[in-house]
Amino acid sequence: MAWLPANPLAARAGIPDSREEGLAYLGSLSRGLILPEMAEAFVDTVGELVAWLEADTPLRLQLIAPYPDYHPERPGGKPGGGRSVEPELFPVPRLGEWAGRMVGAVRRTAVSESPMGGGTGVLAPDVLAARDADGLEGGGRGMIAALLRGCLDAGIEPVTGARGVELVVEDGRVAGVRLEQDGRSEVVRARSGVVLATGGFEWDAGLVRDFLRGPIAHPASVPTNTGDGLRMAMRVGAALGTMREAWWAPVCVLPGRTIQGEQEVYLVNRERTLPGSVLVNRDGHRFTNEAANYNALGGAFHTLDPATLDYRNHPCWLVWDDACARTYGGFGRGEGEAPPDWVFSAGSLAELAALIDVPADALVATVQRWNASAERAEDPDFGRGRSAYDRFLGDRSLDGPASTVGPLTRGPFHAVQVFSSTLGTKGGPRTTVDGAVLDVDGNVVPGLFAAGNAMAGPTGMVYGGAGGTLGPALVFGYRAGRTAAATATAATPGPARTGALA
Ligand SMILES: Cc1cc2nc3c(=O)[nH]c(=O)nc-3n(C[C@H](O)[C@H](O)[C@H](O)COP(=O)(O)OP(=O)(O)OC[C@H]3O[C@@H](n4cnc5c(N)ncnc54)[C@H](O)[C@@H]3O)c2cc1C
């Protein structure tokens, strides 16, 4: 998904939105962290970006019409959606030999067809068979495949498995990058510029310790995101920005499962929104609106208790009852099924508290209080269910806050430990609106650009809506590429790869 305010797809569908509303929304959430010129460049480029994608690449976007913004009641927010888009299904076999080099889970459905998008998520057998036969995919793989096809069509062949380790600087200009691959070193020269797109630094414990505003555990991204681009930028004197922020996300671990040698995690989003579930900290107390968007929830994990100088809310526990489990499923289980066997379960709340090492009297009192207010379908403590967003991932067959506020009454009761994680960090070199890296004195570092999570996040601490990371990444990646291409220098003619192996 990609979050694109005032996008032409919404306009074509007659959904009202505007530049002014997009900027008002971001501004209302900025807390002084969003640079106005970056917000303006983001919103103002959305139309051009979509037109370019449609003209020059096979990527086609479609609206996920009802997906609300993540803070829809803020000025300029959209409770009824219109800003979140996704790729149309793409035939991955069109990639030829590159199809087999794609990683990640295959999705034959679009988000629009899932319960989130207002569909059932279930395909008729003949439809599924046809999509299998055509290799049609949505989601992240669908988007990447379409963009990769666009690159290949333009004669751009990616190099994989090579690690960029050092920028090559000549006459004050970044002229290339040194790669390492299979124990060999190679310098690749840049005709137009070097774009750092190495993701965040969430897998480097030292950078996490030194820069992030609060604790994280078990990042959800690829473990190769170790901040290499950040270090390269720092070595050439880049100014840094948004370093304390990340795209925060609550996760639980999937015991015994690894990806690329690291712990596999599960994003805990729908489960904490369903009626009949609460989050409690290690003291057995609720501490937040559980149904808030995952990025904002990071703030609740990062609350520091001044008395103990401790993050009492991290990690925490999701507790839910068997009625919730059986009605909605969750954690990979369908309706009517029991939770996975790695979930803690006990016949009573007191027994569950003993299993998860939380004070039993506190947990029982917390659930009693929650159940009493749930009878009135309200959460006087944290306002769960007041926002259209809170209700979106809950039980939409129930009206109002009841779609997410419901009691825990029927044992057995279940619990899973939940960690503050991240989809990726947001800090990196500060850039111009066109992605050109700035040095500590505010001057452009000639020849160097940054995009995606490697650049100083243009949206500060904000996750605007579904696709809030990829929307800005598409826009500023497009702007950086366009600018780099326009400033192609005659100083580095000839083949891009000099083949200087050492
Ligand atoms: C399960 C999941 C679902 C998500 N869904 C969405 C969604 O629907 N919408 C949305 O907006 N966001 C989503 N996100 C977040 C989104 O995927 C990331 O924010 C986004 O991929 C960041 O893009 P990027 O290109 O900056 O970095 P990445 O996609 O992290 O890519 C960085 C790449 O750089 C490589 N790299 C690192 N160092 C080097 C080096 N030295 N040399 C060469 N290569 C290097 C890494 O191996 C990696 O492949 C999701 C994340 C997860 C984990």
At residue 339, the pLDDT reads 96
pLDDT at residue 269 in the model: 95
Domains in the chain: boundaries: 2-153, 168-245+426-501, 268-419
Cβ(150)–Cβ(136) under 8 Å? Answer: no
- Whole-number Cα distances in Å, 255 to 124, 220, 314, 502: 33, 15, 19, 43
What does each of the 502 residues of the chain score in pLDDT, given as a tens digit? 999 999 999 999 999 999 999 999 999 999 999 999 999 999 999 999 999 999 999 999 999 989 999 999 999 999 999 999 999 999 999 999 999 999 999 999 999 998 778 777 889 999 999 999 999 999 999 999 999 999 999 999 999 999 999 999 999 999 999 999 999 999 999 999 999 999 999 999 999 999 999 999 999 999 999 999 999 999 999 999 999 999 999 999 999 999 999 999 999 999 999 999 999 999 999 999 999 999 999 999 999 999 999 999 999 999 999 999 999 999 999 899 999 999 999 999 999 999 999 999 999 999 999 999 999 999 999 999 999 999 999 999 999 999 999 999 999 999 999 999 999 999 999 999 999 999 999 999 999 999 999 999 999 999 999 999 999 999 999 999 999 999 876 444 434 444 333 3
Give the separation between CA 495 and CA 189, rounded to whole angstroms.
8
* DSSP assignment string, 319-364: EEEHHHHHHH-BTTB-TTPPPPTTSEEESSHHHHHHHHT--HHHHH
Ligand 1 near 467 CB (within 6 A): yes
- Choices 3.40.640.10, 1.10.1200.120, 3.60.20.10, 3.50.50.60: CATH for 2-153: 3.50.50.60
- Where in 153-290 does DSSP place strands (E)? 163-170, 173-181, 184-189, 194-196, 240-241, 246-259, 262-267, 277-280
Within 10 Å of residue 139's Cβ, how many Cβ atoms?
19
Measured from the Cα of 466, ligand 1's closest atom is: 9
Q: Is the peptide bond before 446 cis (omega within 30 degrees of 0)?
A: no
Beta carbon of 259 within 6 Å of any ligand 1 atom:
no
Instruction: Residue 283: count other Cβ atoms within 10 Å of its Cβ.
Output: 15
Contact 304, 348 (CB under 8 A): no
Q: How far is the CA of 196 from the centre of ligand 1 (A)?
A: 13
Pocket test for ligand 1, best of 116, 423, 459, 462 (most atoms within 8 A of CB): 423
Q: Residue 418, SS3? A: strand
Residue 490, by phi and psi: left (phi above 0), alpha (psi -120 to 50) or beta? alpha
Fold match, 2-153 / 168-245+426-501: yes
pLDDT score, position 496: 47
DSSP annotation of 432: -
Q: Out of 224, 226, 251, give the residue to mutate to test ligand 1, the one with the largest number of ligand atoms within 8 Å of its CB.
A: 224
User: Could you tell me the two tokens for 445?
Assistant: 């570092």
Residue 155's pLDDT is: 96
Instruction: Determine the topology of domain 168-245+426-501 in CATH.
Output: FAD/NAD(P)-binding domain (3.50.50)
Phi, psi angles (nearest 5°) of residue 184: -110, 155
Q: Which CATH number fits domain 268-419: 3.30.360.10, 3.90.700.10, 3.40.1390.10, 3.40.50.300?
A: 3.90.700.10
pLDDT at 492: 47
**Does residue 481 line the site of ligand 1, with CB under 6 A?**
no
